[in-house]
């Protein structure tokens, strides 16, 4: 873990905005398995609205205080997002507030407090017509309202001056109600035949696997 110059820290203290979502829950579960190394706060979007600068300033102050008292290095891992892809087409202003304005506020406060920020984004920032796996440095070309708002969020984070990392993921699942894998499992139990669209291509990602990878990343960057 990080060495601050005052002795090695006792792991990391992580703030996870959007903590009640699928990824936030997976992060909390993974952190609980590594309690000696990871202390994690995962407020829901109702508890911490990332679009409100005052709330973010207060949350970062609490994170810094808690980390200092525990001898840990603070990190922010942003899992807050408006993820209703279809609904965003009719409510792009709200999607922009959460997916772009929220990360902008978080990044600005992280920059001022010199706290590293890991921001979770999406493959929707690309056009989807490359015909090959995308590379991190490929040009963005979102074709949906959701993708545009997430791309704007990436730009805000990278232009903030904060120590920041962007992690793009796709088709997150945990097998629970509402995600693709859970829905397919339920339909298989309920129906003799299951029909799904065949014009979408994606990379299903286990929320548990992503949570482990993000916490592994958070340690060295703290």
What residue ranges in the chain does DSSP mark as E strands? 12-15, 38-41, 73-78, 117-122, 164-169, 172-173, 205-206
| Of 139, 196, 140, residue with least CA distance to 171 | 196
Q: Does the annotation count 124 as an active-site position?
A: no
How many residues belong to the chain?
222
Catalytic residue chosen out of the listed positions 82, 124, 134, 146: 146
- Cα–Cα distance, 210 to 22 (Å, whole number): 11
- Cα–Cα distance, 139 to 149 (Å, whole number): 16
Cβ proximity of 76 and 14 under 8 Å: yes
The region, left, alpha or beta by phi > 0 then psi within -120 to 50, assigned to residue 178 is: left
Enumerate the active-site residues: 146
């Amino acid at each position: 873990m990080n060495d601050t110059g005052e002795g090695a820290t006792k792991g990391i203290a992580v703030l996870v905005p959007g903590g009640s979502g699928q990824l936030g829950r997976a992060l909390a579960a993974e952190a609980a398995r590594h309690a000696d190394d990871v202390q994690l706060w995962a407020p829901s979007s109702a508890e911490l609205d990332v679009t409100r600068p005052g709330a973010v300033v207060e949350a970062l102050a609490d994170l810094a205080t808690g980390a200092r008292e525990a001898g840990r290095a603070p990190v922010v891992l942003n899992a807050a997002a408006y993820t209703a892809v279809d609904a965003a087409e009719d409510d792009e202003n709200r999607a922009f507030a959460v997916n772009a304005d929220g990360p902008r506020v978080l990044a600005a406060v992280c920059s001022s407090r010199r706290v590293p920020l890991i921001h979770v984004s999406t493959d929707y920032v690309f056009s989807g017509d490359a015909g090959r796996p995308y590379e991190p440095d490929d040009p963005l070309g979102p074709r949906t309202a959701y993708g545009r708002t997430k791309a704007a969020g990436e730009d805000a984070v990278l232009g903030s001056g904060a120590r920041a990392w962007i992690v793009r993921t796709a088709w997150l699942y945990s097998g629970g109600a509402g995600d693709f894998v859970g829905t397919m499992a339920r339909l298989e139990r309920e129906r003799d035949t299951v029909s799904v669209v065949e014009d979408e291509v994606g990379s299903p990602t286990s929320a548990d696997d992503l949570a482990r990878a993000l916490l592994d990343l958070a340690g060295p960057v703290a």
